[in-house]
Chain A
Amino acid sequence: MMTKSTAEQVLREALRTGGDFAEIFCEDRSSGAMGLVDGRVEAANTVRRHGAGIRIYRGLNSVYVHTNDTSLAGLTAAARKAADAVEGERCVGDIHLTRQLQRNLHQIRELPMDVAGSRMAKLLRDCDLAAKAVSPEISQVRASLSHWDSEVLIANSEGLFTGDRRVYTRLFVNAVASRDGDSQSGHEAPGAMMGYELFSGRVDPGEAARSAATKAVTMLHADPCPAGVMPVVIDGGFGGVIFHEACGHSLEAAAVAFGNSEFAGKLGTQIASPIVTAVDDGTLANEWGSLNIDDEGIPTTRLVLIEDGVLRNYMVDQLNGRRMGLPSTGSGRRQDYTFAPTSRMRNTFIAPGEDDEAEIIASCPDGLYARSMGGGSVNPVTGEFNFAVEEGYLIRNGRIDAPVRGASLIGRGSEILRKIDRVGSKMWMAQGMCGAASGSIPTNVGQPMIRVTDITVGGR
C-alpha cells in the first residue's frame, strides 16, 4: 500500500492546477462468499479488489479519478488526470503529512478469510436443516455467508495520513414455503462489523434459519392484505427502515445542501411527534454500520438527529459541509475506492420511548401490525416513501389477528413523523445494505415498536 512520501508527491501533483484540497483513498479488499442451496454448497468465490481514488476540490466543485494502479507512477498519472480537469493556478503550498493513529472501537478476533471452507459449509448446512425442521412445507432453503476485509489508507492535503481496517461478516438465509402451487418466502440476514466470532454468541445461525422459515410458512397461510388507510403498528428491529427511508435520507447533507430535502432549513424546529428521538451512531462497538473513521478519515461520531421531535442535526460530509457552512459529522462514506464519498447513515434508529408494547396493541383501533419489514425507497425531495411488509397481521379488537401478505406502506416522511403516537421501550437493530450516490454500504436500522395513527396500506 501507499507510503507517506508517495502520498505527499501525489497530493502535490493533484494540486498543481488550482485545487484547494486533495485527498487519496487507497484500498485493498479481499472478500469471499459461499452459497448453499438445498443442503449442498453450490458456489464459492473469492475476490480481491485493489485501487485508489483521488479527489480534488476547487471551492464547491470536485473532481474524482480512480485507478487500479497504486504505484507511484499510477497514482501520479491519476492525479495528473484529475488536476487537468481543474483550471487555475496552484494555491496550496507544500504538503507535509503527519501519521495519525486511530482509536480502535471494534475488536476483530477471527479473520473470516482464514476460516476453513469446510467449517463455513457446515454452518450453512446447519441452517438448511434448522429451516427444514420448521415445517414440511419448506420447499427450498438458500443460505450464504459473505465476508470482506478492507484495509484503507486516507491522505489529504491538510496533512492527514491515516488508515483503518474493516472486517465484516454476514449470514443470509432465505426459506421458501410452498403449498398447492403457491409459495412465499421469508429471510433473515444478521451481520456485524466483526470476524467469524460473529457465530460464537452473537448470532445463532439455527435461530436465524428458523425465523426465516417461520415467516415463510406464516405468510403461506395468510390472506392478501386489505388495502386502505389505517393505523399501523411497526415492530422494532428492521421496522426502523421506515425512519431510514422516510426521514434518514432527507437528513443527509447531500440532500439538504441543495435544498433537495423536505427538512432543509428546519434545524431547531419541531418536525416529529414530541415522543420521537432519533440517533445516528457510528461508534457502537462492532455494529454493522459502525466505523473507527469515516471514508474521509474523520473519527466517527454519535449524532442526535431529532430530540423530542425537534430537528437537531444533519449528517454531514466535508464537501457538503463546505456548502452548508457546517463541520463534518464523520458521515462521509463510500462503497469502495471507485466512489467519491458523500454523507450517509451509519447505525440509525429511533431511541427507546416509554410506552408498553402490550398496551400499544391493546389500545390500537383496527389496523395492521407489521411484525417484520422488507426494504423500501424514498424520493428525498418530496419525502414520498414506500416499503414492503414482509410479515404482517391484522389488528382487530385490540388483538393481533390473522396474518396478511402482500402489504406495502406508502406516505410522506414529514407526515408520518408527526403521526407517531406510541414509542415502545425496547429498541433493537437489524442490518441492511443502503444504496445511494456513493454506492452500497452497510447500515443498521432500528427502533422500538412504534404506532402510526394512519398510513396508506397497499394490498389487493
Chain B
Amino acid sequence: MERNEFVRRLFARAGEAGEGIASEVCYESGSSFEVSVKDGEILQYSVSDSTGLGFRVLRNGRTGTASTQILDEEAVAQLVDGALENAALVESEDEQFMFPGSPEYPKLALFSPAVEAMTAAEKIGMAKRLEQLALRQDPRIQQVEECAVFSSSDARTMTNTLGLNVSTEVNLLGGYVVVVAREGEKVNTGFKVFFTSDPAQVDLEAVAKAAAKEAIDGLDGAPVPSGRYRVLLRNDVAGNLLATFAGIFSADNAQRGLSRLKGREGERIAAECVTLMDDPHRAGSASSTPFDGEGVATRVKAVIEGGRLNTLLHNLKTARKQGVETTANAARESYASGVGVAPTNFYFAPSDTGFDDMLEQTGDGLLITDLQGMHAGANPITGDFSLAAKGFRIEGGRLTAPVNQITVAGNYYELLADIEAVGGDLDFRSPGTSCFGSPSLLVKGLSVAGA
C-alpha cells in the first residue's frame, strides 16, 4: 500500500475506535552501504534499503506503540489494535502527551550532497587505500584485521492528528581500520574510526597512522603497581565514560531515583572548569536534529556550566511532572521504540590548553588511552566503575612506558568534582541517537589495580 494511503487508513481506524484518541506516525526510510577489504580485495560488500513505520496512540493520558515493516491491509489492523491494547495496559500514573508542533523549527543542513554523490567505486577505493596506508606505517604492522568504509542516509517523518508534520534527513560517510602489530611473541591491536559529512576532509593517512601508533605503542605494555594515580583520560576515553554515565543527566532516571542528580539543579556538581553542552544543531553530526522524538523543536543548552548543574534532560512527560519546560530531549531510538530521554550531541566544552600542557599539569601519573568493559564494569546508578585499561606512564610531565593489563576504578560523580583541567582536543565518538564528545580530562586520582 502507498504510504500516505496507509497513514490515512491508520488514522481513520484509530478515530473509529473511540472518542478522544490522538494518533501519530513515525516513518523512517534509509539506505546503507558498507564495504570491507582484505589484501586489496573486497571481502564483504553490503547494501540495504529499509523502511519502517511506528504508530503511537494517546488515550486518557496513556500511550501505546506498535510498528511494522510491511504496509499491508493486515498491518493496519495490527498496528491500531496493538497500539490501543498496549495503551490500555499502561498503569503508570505519569501523564503522557502528544505534541501539536512548535511554531518554528531550526533550519539545519544535515544532508550532505557530497556524501550522496559518492559512487560505490569511490568508497571501495577509499577502503583499499586505507588498508594500504595502514600496512605501510611500520614493518611491525603485519596485518590489517578489519578495514571498511560505509555510508548511510536516513529520513524520518512524524505526523499526528493534532497537527504535527515534520521531517528531517541526515547522511554520513565513515570508515574504520583495526591493525595488528606483532613483535616476537608480543601482539597488540590498534583501532581508529572516522565520520564526516564532508568527503573532502577525510585524511586517510592520519586514520592509518593513529591506528598503527596505538598498536605499536602498546606492544611493550606491562602493568604498573596497584595504587592511586593521577590520571589523564585521553579525549576518546573521556567521551566513552561520558557515554556510559550520560543516563545520570536524564530527568526520567532522576525522577525514578536512578540518578544522584535528582533535585540538584542550580547546585555545584562538578569542578569549576567543567561545562557540559547538549547541542542538537552541531554541523556535520548525524545525531543532530531539528525536532526531538515527540516533534518538539530542539535547542542548544549548557547542562553543566562552570561546574553548576543548570538542568537535567527532559521530554514532555518528565517536564510536566517537574513543572518545567521540556528541553526537547525526547528520544526514539528508532520508529519502533517508545519515547525516552537522551542527549543529542553531548560534550564537555574544551579549553585552549594543548595536550603537552595537559601532560605537564599531570606531572606523574597515567595517561589512559583505552577502557574496556563499560557494559558490565560500570554501574550507571551509583556511578561506580571498575574497567580494564591501557595507556602510558606519565613521568615528569612526559609519556614514558606503555601500560596494559590494569583496571581503573572510581566513581563518576566524584570524578566530575575531581577534574583538575580540561584540554583543548575535543573529539566526538560515533553518532547514533546520541553522539558523545570530550577533550582530554585530568583527574586528581583514580584507583589502579595492576601488578
Q: Within the assembled complex, what's the spacing in Å between the Cα atoms of A41 and B85? A: 13
A3 on interface, CB distance cutoff 8 Å: no
Contacts of B68 in A (CB 8 A): 47-48, 50
Tell me how far the C-beta of A46 lies from the nearest C-beta in chain B, rounded to whole angstroms: 4
Docked complex: B354-377 residues within 8 A CB-CB of A: 372-373, 375-377
**Which residue of A has the minimal Cβ distance to B94?**
A42
CB distance from A338 to the nearest CB of B (A): 7
- In the complex the two chains form, is A388's CB within 8 Å of B145's CB? no
Asked if A328 is at the interface of the complex by the 8 Å CB criterion, the answer is no
Set of chain A residues within 8 Å of B381, measured between Cβ atoms: 176, 183-185
Contact B49 A227 (CB under 8 A): no
Minimum CB–CB distance from A344 to chain B (whole Å) comes to 16
With A377-B373, A381-B180, A456-B450: A45-B258 Cβ-Cβ less than 8 Å: no
Chain A minimum-CB-distance residue to B450 = A456
- Chain B, range 100-151, C-beta contacts under 8 Å to A: 120, 143, 145
Q: Is the beta-carbon distance between A338 and B50 smaller than 8 angstroms?
A: yes
Contact with A along B433-451 (1 / 0, CB 8 A): 0000000000000011111
The interface size of chain A toward B, counting residues with CB under 8 Å, comes to 74
Q: Which listed residue (A41, A260, A379, A408) contacts B386, Cβ 8 A?
A: A408
A33 to chain B, nearest CB (A): 9
> Per-position contact with A for B389-422: 1 when CB-CB < 8 Å, else 0?
0000000000000001111111000000000000
- Chain A residues in 8 Å Cβ range of B145: 258, 260, 381
Within 8 Å by CB of A459, from B388, B405, B449, lies B449
Tell me the nearest residue of chain B to A373, going by C-beta. B376
Chain A: minimal CB distance from B192 (Å) = 15
Judge whether B42 is part of the interface by a CB distance below 8 angstroms. Answer: yes
Taken together as a complex, chains A and B put the C-alpha atoms of A265 and B425 apart, in Å, by: 43
Contact partners of B257 in chain A: CB under 8 A: 139-140, 176, 178, 183
Task: Please give, as numbers and ranges, the residues of chain B lying within 8 Å of A42 by CB-CB distance.
Answer: 90-92
A37 to B317, CA, bound (A): 16
Residues of A within 8 A of B82 (CB): 46
| Known interface pairs A68-B70, A406-B409; A384-B404 also in contact (CB < 8 Å) | yes
Least distance between B403 CB and chain A CB atoms (Å): 13
Known: A64-B44, A176-B381, A408-B373. A460 touches B447 (CB 8 A): yes
Q: Within the complex, what minimum Cβ distance (angstroms) separates B131 from chain A?
A: 13
Query: Closest CB-CB distance, A312 to chain B, in whole Å?
Result: 24
Docked CA distance A388–B407 (Å): 11
Contact of B50 among A68, A139, A374 (CB under 8 A): A68
**Chain A residues numbered 114-166 whose CB sits less than 8 Å from any CB in chain B:** 117-118, 121, 139-140
Q: Whose C-beta in chain B lies nearest to the C-beta of A49?
A: B69
* Chain A CB within 10 Å, residue with most, of B78, B89, B336, B448: B89
Point out the residues of chain B lying under 8 angstroms from A185, CB to CB.
379, 381
**Helix, strand, loop or mixed for chain B's interface?**
strand
Bound state CA distance, A387 and B70, in angstroms?
A: 40
Shortest distance between the CB of A328 and any CB in chain B (Å): 18
* Interface: A88 (CB within 8 A): no
Given contacts A65-B48, A227-B226, A338-B48, contact A386 B388 (CB under 8 A): yes
Q: Is A181 an interface residue (CB 8 A)?
A: yes
**Stretch from B59-67, B154-162, B169-177, B275-283 that touches the partner:** B59-67
Per the bound structure, the CA–CA distance linking A63 and B47 in Å amounts to 8
Is A327's beta carbon under 8 Å from chain B?
no
Out of B69, B90, B375, which one reaches A43, CB within 8 Å?
B90
- Judge if A340 is at the interface, Cβ distance under 8 Å: yes
User: Least Cβ distance of B216 to chain A in Å?
Assistant: 14
In the bound complex, residues from chain A placing their C-beta under 8 Å from that of B204 are none
- B66 neighbours in A (Cβ, 8 Å): 45-48
Interface residue ranges of A184-241 to B (CB < 8 Å): 184-185, 225, 227-229
Question: Which A residues lie within 8 Å of B337 (CB)?
Answer: 45
For window 28-84 of B, CB contacts with A under 8 Å fall at 38, 41-52, 64-70, 75, 78, 82-83
Q: Is the pair B48, A259 in contact by a Cβ cutoff of 8 Å?
A: no
How many residue pairs at the A-B interface have CB separations less than 8 Å?
225
| Cβ contacts under 8 Å, B375 to chain A | 375, 377
Q: Are B86 and A44 in contact (CB under 8 A)?
A: yes
Q: Is B382 positioned at the interface, with any CB of A under 8 Å from its CB? A: yes
Number of interface residues of B (CB under 8 A): 72
Which chain A residues numbered 263 to 321 have a C-beta less than 8 Å away from chain B? none
Docked complex Cα distance between A229 and B449 (Å): 8
Contacts of A439 in B (CB 8 A): none
Closest approach, in angstroms, between the C-beta of A118 and any C-beta of chain B?
A: 7
Greatest chain A CB density within 10 A among B38, B64, B409 is at B409
Residue B284 CB within 8 A of the other chain: no
CB neighbours (8 Å) of B373 from chain A are 375-377, 386-388, 408
Contact of B384 among A176, A406, A410 (CB under 8 A): A406
- In the complex, what's the smallest C-beta–C-beta distance from A403 to chain B, in angstroms? 15
A258 to B85, CA, bound (A): 50
Tell me, yes or no, whether B189 is within 8 Å of chain A by CB.
yes
Q: Is the CB of A45 within 8 A of B388?
A: no
Q: Which of B78, B89, B143, B387 touches A458 (beta carbons < 8 Å)?
A: B387
Whose C-beta in chain B lies nearest to the C-beta of A38?
Answer: B256
Contacts of B67 in A (CB 8 A): 45-48
Known: A37-B256, A382-B189, A456-B450. A51 touches B388 (CB 8 A): no
8 Å CB contacts to B: which residues of A21-75? Answer: 34, 37-38, 40-51, 60-69
Whether, in the assembled complex, A411 has its beta carbon less than 8 Å from a beta carbon of chain B, the answer is yes
The answer to whether B69 and A183 have CB atoms under 8 Å apart is no
List B contacts of A121 (CB < 8 A): 89, 91
Contact of A81 with B by CB under 8 A: yes
Q: How far is the CA of A408 from the CA of B449 in the complex (A)?
A: 10
Q: Is B199 an interface residue (CB 8 A)?
A: no
Residues in chain B near residue A387, CB distance under 8 A: 373, 376-377
A249 on interface, CB distance cutoff 8 Å: no
Is B338 among interface residues, defined by CB-CB distance under 8 A?
yes
B44 touches A410 (CB 8 A): no
List the B side residues contacting A228 at CB < 8 Å: 226, 449
Asked whether B405 lies within 8 Å of A411 as measured between CB atoms, the reply is yes
Whether B223 is near chain A, meaning CB under 8 Å from some CB there, is yes
With A47-B336, A374-B377, A381-B180 in contact, is A386–B86 under 8 Å at CB?
A: no
Whole-angstrom distance between the Cβ of B375 and the nearest chain A Cβ: 6
In the bound complex, do residue A227 and residue B189 qualify as a contact, i.e. CB atoms below 8 Å apart?
no
CB-CB nearest in chain A for B336? A47
User: B5 an interface residue at 8 Å Cβ cutoff?
Assistant: no
| Residues on A with beta carbons closer than 8 Å to the beta carbon of B405 | 384, 410-412, 456
Question: Which residues of chain A are within 8 angstroms of B223 by Cβ–Cβ distance?
Answer: 456
What are 16 inter-chain pairs, A to B, with CB distance below 8 A? A41-B90, A47-B66, A61-B42, A61-B44, A66-B50, A183-B257, A381-B189, A388-B373, A408-B376, A410-B388, A411-B405, A456-B407, A456-B450, A458-B409, A458-B449, A460-B410
Known: A384-B404, A410-B406. 9 other contacts (CB 8 A): A38-B256, A40-B92, A41-B91, A47-B68, A48-B68, A61-B41, A61-B42, A386-B407, A458-B407
Q: Which A residues are closer than 8 A to B by beta carbons?
A: 34, 37-38, 40-51, 60-69, 81-82, 85, 117-118, 121, 139-140, 176, 178, 181-185, 225, 227-229, 258-260, 262, 338, 340, 374-377, 379, 381-382, 384-388, 405-408, 410-412, 456-460
Closest 3 pairs (CB-CB, A-B): A458-B407, A227-B449, A386-B388
